[in-house]
Structure 1
Amino acid sequence: MSKVKGLCIMDVDGTLILEEVIDLLGREVGREEEIAQITSRAMRGELNFERSLRDRVSLLEGLPISVFDKVFKSIQLTPNAQKFISILQKNGILVGLVSGGFTPIVDKLAKSLGITYFSANQLEVKDGLLTGELVGAIISPELKQATLEQWRKELKLPRERTVAIGDGANDLLMLKSSGLGIAFCAKEVLRKEIPHHVDKRDFLEVLPLIDFLE
């Protein structure tokens, strides 16, 4: 790639893909409804993100890691996500994924889309089973924002050449600190604070908002 002209950071669950992976994992352990209710409240900003994530992950204890292959096959990209990403990449805009979801899924998604910059939560595994614990730093709202800043500085880009796209309360800080924050089919808490919204679930609707595309 020639010189990077911009950076576009995307949330994964509910933005790049239609599903919330943790809810799909909950289905595998028979706790989907319980987990989905917590997810929904966290995304609306009603619960502390990190605490709610730890609570949900604890319910996944005992799941085999092979479950990620099954879940990966069931997730669907948001319409035109692949096309959107390849248009940005062809225009010298680096695409990165920052997810409050989990590395085994985000890693596969990133590779399938030709994305090298990504960050997600790590689940602890012992003897091939999830322990119900997380390891390492939690991808909190603050860390999403810090990751955007870190990648921007590594790429030596000015703030106005950064785009952030997300749908939940945990994306707010990241969207606010980018040059262009886009609330994508977003929860009310995000729509109130972020002036740019896309309300149709189609990534081609985002392209006209990015003013540094060739």
Structure 2
Amino acid sequence: MPFSSLPTRLADWPALFPASGLLRLGAQGAEPVASLPDHAGILVLMGRPLAVSELAPLAARLGQAPVTLPPFNVAGVEVLVLLTAGFDEALGEWLKAQEWSLDAAYVRALPDLAEPGLLLMDMDSTAIQIECIDEIARLAGVGEQVAAVTAAAMQGKLEFCDSLRNRVALLKDADAGILEQVVDLMPLMPGLEILVARLKQAGWKVAIASGGFTRFAGHLQQTLGLDHIEANNLVVRDGRLTGEVDGRIVDGKVKAQTLLDLKVRYGIADHQTVAIGDGANDLPMLANAALGLALHAKPIVRQQAQVAIARLDLEAALCLLEAGSRLAALRG
């Protein structure tokens, strides 16, 4: 796969493509392909920018002549899609372990934005950049104690429901006004707004399933026009937190069930479901989706998820969905 024979800037590649929009990258260089070939693997490379010089180790790993689509740009991210005749699970694991400036996804199939779909996201450290309970605890003066339990729970070292109850108990008697302070300072994950806007434009359903709290998930629902939220209810009495959670706790099982329930409610095909999360309690949800993305995830999640995004933010999900749409268009 002689990337050395191709322009060093990905932006210069489109001029090489024939009318079919497909090139085979073989030992003798790039050659045109008349139509979309049969393929078992889809490799999506994403970077800002995507440096061709970094792809040499990947070329050695592929050991075959993949077919590529013309590179494209999504929200400032350069994207290259390669199709492989077979599917090598070891390649997917190798990609997740790489320390380079780009992100890569190696999958058997991708959803299509032109069809109805469903995206279900975790909230804390996924849709937003913070863990809300840690911020509440910091303002309540018990930040270190709560943060330590949060970290252990997200790494899968503690059972989530028990860990949440223990953390919430530490907030007893805190002024409920703290919740509004956290809402006012809640930073969105980069790429969230453009991702949601594009999906809504395409007629997709977008929802949150969070082990966090309804006050914050509800704010996102109102601000972004989300179709559904599933989160925990903090009990407030006389203007203070009671240190309790009302109703069932949204743990990994509930998140996974939420994906299944929403899929049925909205009539979404199995292959059109996407889930994004970062913690151990997101793994069942990620496993239930056709495309499960670990975003800036804990090691256990990065290892087990179908795709791990480490450098980009939520715009990576949009890159993958755009890649799926372009492939679907080529299939006709």
Normalised to the residue count of structure 1, the TM-score between the two structures is: 0.95
The answer to whether the aligner puts 1:136 opposite 2:241 as a matched pair is no
Rounded to whole Å, the distance in 1 between the matches of 2:115 and 2:237 is 40
What code does the residue aligned with 2:143 have?
A: E
The structure with the largest alpha-carbon Rg is 2
Shift of 1:109: 1.4
- Out of 185, 193, 197, the position equivalent to 1:86 is 197
Q: Is 1:9–2:120 an aligned residue pair?
A: yes
Q: For 1:25-77, what per-residue CA distance to the aligned partner results, in whole angstroms no more than 9, with x for missing partners?
A: 00111111111111011000000000000000000111222211111111100
- The question of whether the paired residues in 1 share the 8 Å contact of 2:115 and 2:272 is answered with no
Residue 120 of structure 1 corresponds to 231
One-letter identity of the residue aligned with 1:161:
Q
**Partners in 2 of 1:160 and 1:41 — Cα distance?**
33
Structure 2 contact 161–249 (Cα < 8 Å) conserved = yes
2:217 partner letter: V
> Once the two structures are superposed, what CA deviation does each residue of 1:121-177 show, in whole Å capped at 9, x if it has no partner?
011121121110111110010000001100000011121110000000010000000
RCO higher in structure (CA 8 A, sep ≥6): 1
- 2:49 matched residue in structure 1: none
What count of residue pairs does the alignment treat as equivalent?
212
Question: Counterparts in 2 of 1:8-27, with a 5 A limit?
Answer: 8-27=119-138
Q: What CA distance in whole angstroms lies between the structure 2 residues aligned with 1:29 and 1:64?
A: 8
2:256 maps to which of 145, 149, 153: 145
SS at the partner of 1:125? Answer: strand
What TM-score results when the alignment is normalised by the length of structure 2? 0.62
Alignment of 1:35 onto 2:160: no
- Would the aligned equivalents of 1:78 and 1:201 in 2 still touch at CA under 8 Å? no
AA in 1 matched with 2:260: E
Offset of residue 107 of structure 1 = 0.4
Aligned with 1:188 (options 299, 304, 311): 299
C-alpha distance in structure 2 between counterparts of 1:70 and 1:116, whole Å: 25
Match of 1:205 among 302, 305, 316: 316
Identity of aligned residues (%): 37
Amino acid at match of 2:147: A
Q: Distance in 2 between matches of 1:130 and 1:160?
A: 42
Q: Can you give the 5+ residue segments of structure 1 that lack an aligned partner in the other structure?
A: none
Kept in 2: contact 1:4–1:94 (CA 8 A)? no
Q: Measure the CA separation in 1 of the matches of 2:176 and 2:312.
A: 31
The 1:152/1:30 distance shift into structure 2, 3 A limit, reads same
Which letter maps to 1:68? L
SS in 2 for 1:132: strand
After superposition, give the CA deviation of every residue in 1:75-109 in whole Å (9 maximum; x if it has no partner). 10011211111011111111101110001111011
Q: Is the 8 A contact 1:161 1:212 kept in 2?
A: no
Of the structure 1 ranges 117-126 and 17-26, higher mean CA displacement relative to structure 2 is found in 117-126
Alpha-carbon distance in 1 for matches of 2:267, 2:279: 28
3-state SS of 2:172 partner: coil
Give distance in 1, aligned partners of 2:156 and 2:209.
Answer: 18
Alignment-mate amino acid for residue 128 of structure 2: I
Name the Cα RMSD after superposition: 1.5
